[in-house]
Amino acid sequence: MIEKIINENFTVSPPQKSEKRTLVSPGKEIQDGYVGSVAYSLPKPIKKLEYDLRRELKKEDLSEYLQGARCQSRKGEELKDKNPPVTISIIHTNDLHGRHTPINTPNTGNVDMGGTPFVASLIKELEKKETDEASLIVDVGDVAYAPPVSDKFHFEPMADVMNKVGYEIMTLGNHEFQWGVPVLEKEFISKLKFPVVISNVVEKATNAPLPNTLPYIIEDIKGIKVGILGLLTPKMATDAHPQVGKDVKVENPADCARRVVKELKRLGVDVIVALTHEGLDADKELAKSVEGINLIIAGHDHEKVSDPIVVINPAGEKTLVVEAGSYGEYVGNVELMVDTDKKVIKAKYELYPVYSKQIKPDPEVKTIVDKFLHEVGEVFHKALGIG
């Protein structure tokens, strides 16, 4: 469960009762929604890759390493059995953009992919495989803004869907600010049953953190303290939407990351994960310039990263960078193996395609989606003079 959230200025709205892990913030408890999985066989991941993430030893480290290895050898295999490595699974999506129904384009190979009811089923099956106690379900932002549903309802459909899926942590993308901070807080953040982590954004008018968000969060998974921060690109506006982000200030992501990582290390965190909505090129630079981050889960540029990127940071440590496409076409799953010294020694990555015709839709999420699509259909029919 979440061991603690350090910052008295941040609170999260209390949600309804749930079966999931309990998250604890100063003075409040929050629990995210969970519904039972729809049984079906998981599709095969595009690739199943393993990475050795141990720091490459320098010459001066070698004698110390060998001495430790000899001591470990004398203790024998019995000690290994008593203290096996801990595996942490992080199931992730990004840039869903409110795509509740499957899409079929040349980009998907002209097959049906995505749709939130199908994404929900796949996520729940992955969580069942990994177990709730050892996994986190996260999103990296841009969950809404997809006409025509978002034009009428803004965030409401995605808030309901994400609560039902059982998301546990998310950060914000630039399109979360499509309708300004007041709408974002009132119609989305306040309705979520899980925390929103955003480390480098404040309101322009007050210089205060966004309401009901956290600068970082610390979760205890099987005795491993996992610190999670969220970073957003300073380039929030687009040619089509030049007003996006006009009511907030965004700190340089790398500068913010250094400060937050230092604080997390001070608090005794073992593993650090950054949820970043700034694009792969920026994330590779972030990984190169900031030490202490074990994993970056990326978003914003809609890249499908089937071969995760391994970057060496200034301390000679390896940072893994992954991203799961967009529009719910893929769901990613990163497994981090943490040894008895609480160091990340290995990672396994799987990128699962969401082939909608091969997956049974989650019934509760489908009910939510059908309701909103029906209402949108009625609006269009009236506008066209039909019915």
How is residue 274 written in tokens? 């950054």
Q: What count of residues does the chain have?
A: 387
- Residue 153 is assigned to a structural domain of this protein: yes
Query: Is residue 288 situated within a structural domain?
Result: yes
Largest CA distance in the chain: 83
Q: What are 133's two structure tokens?
A: 């106690």
Could you list the residue range(s) of the whole structural domain that residue 181 is in? 2-56+82-383
Determine, yes or no, domain membership for 102.
Answer: yes
Report how far apart the first and last C-alpha atoms of the chain are (Å, whole number): 51
Q: Indicate whether 241 belongs to any domain.
A: yes
Name the strand (E) or helix (H) holding 297: strand 295-299
Per-run averaged pLDDT (10 residues), the chain, 387 residues: 35 35 32 30 64 53 41 45 83 94 88 95 95 94 74 80 97 90 91 96 90 95 96 77 78 97 97 97 97 97 93 94 96 95 93 94 94 67 39
Q: Can you give the pLDDT at residue 240? A: 55
Q: Please tell me what DSSP assigns to residue 316.
A: S
Burial (CB count <10 Å: 0-12, 13-18, 19+), residue 241: middle
pLDDT of residue 3: 34
Pair 119, 129: CB distance under 8 Å: no
43 falls within a domain: yes
In a domain, 72, yes or no: no
Which tokens belong to 306?
């089937």
How many separate domains does the chain show? 1
Q: Residue 295 maps to which CATH number?
A: 3.60.21.10
Judge whether 13 lies within some domain.
Answer: yes
For residue 38, the SS3 value is: coil
| Beta strands 248-250 and 224-232, pairing class | unpaired
Single out the residue of 122, 190, 187, 109 nearest to residue 150, CA to CA: 187
Any domain includes 165: yes
